[in-house]
């Protein structure tokens, strides 16, 4: 599972310091929390969807199965689903905003992930590529999780269309220039650090 989470976070290398911190945590052999794993899966799903991967439906089915099977309670599962969907939407919008930059490379990496080597059993049990076995808190019908949707990308485009082009109203900054209002930041008395 560590390899899958590392790959998921590696695909998102353009996302900034938060993911870089998670990658460092993974390299230190610290366990990945359920929420971090679900968020990583959602972010990868968003990029795969945005870039038009043909394996997105399979990925979604695997991700949903992981989300359900690894959740320790219904509340954790519901929170995981929200986090997964939020990250998926954020990743999709990010790819949209960057003009779908390097989508061909993302699709190539997306389509060749280790996560596609996961074995899923009818009762919801999952065997990861590294051999780790996860059983659900209660058996469920995995076939109900599979939802192939060929129009998924078109639906996402309609939902997220122009999400990054929304107009922001007028902003007024408190600069303290008028003399009546103190500035928002007065500075520090500490010496500057040379770098």
Give residue-wise pLDDT tens across range 122-150. 888 899 988 889 999 988 888 887 766 67
The answer on pLDDT for 24 being more than 60 is no
Q: Helices (DSSP H) in the chain: which residue ranges?
A: 2-11, 17-27, 34-51, 56-70, 74-97, 103-111, 152-160
Would the pTM count as exceeding 0.85?
no
For 33-58, what is the mean pLDDT? 93
The band of 108, judged by pLDDT with boundaries at 50, 70 and 90, is: very high
10 Å CB burial of residue 155 (0-12, 13-18, 19+) is exposed
């Amino acid at each position: 599972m560590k390899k899958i989470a590392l790959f998921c976070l590696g695909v998102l290398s353009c996302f900034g310091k938060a993911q870089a911190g998670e990658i460092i945590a993974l390299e230190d052999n610290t366990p990945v929390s359920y929420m971090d794993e679900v968020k990583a899966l959602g972010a990868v799903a968003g990029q795969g969807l945005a870039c038009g991967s043909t394996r997105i439906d399979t990925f979604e089915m695997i991700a949903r199965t992981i989300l359900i099977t690894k959740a320790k309670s219904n509340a954790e599962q519901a929170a995981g689903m929200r986090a997964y969907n939020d990250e998926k939407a954020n990743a999709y919008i990010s790819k949209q905003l960057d003009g779908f930059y390097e989508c061909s490379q993302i699709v190539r990496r997306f389509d060749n992930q280790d996560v596609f080597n996961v074995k899923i059993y009818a009762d919801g049990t999952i065997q990861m590529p590294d051999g780790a076995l996860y059983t659900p808190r209660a058996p469920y019908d995995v076939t109900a999780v599979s939802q192939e949707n060929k129009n998924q990308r078109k639906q996402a485009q309609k939902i997220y269309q122009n999400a990054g082009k929304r107009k922001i109203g007028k902003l007024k900054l408190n600069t303290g220039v008028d003399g009546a209002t103190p500035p928002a930041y007065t500075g520090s008395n500490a010496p500057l650090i040379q770098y």
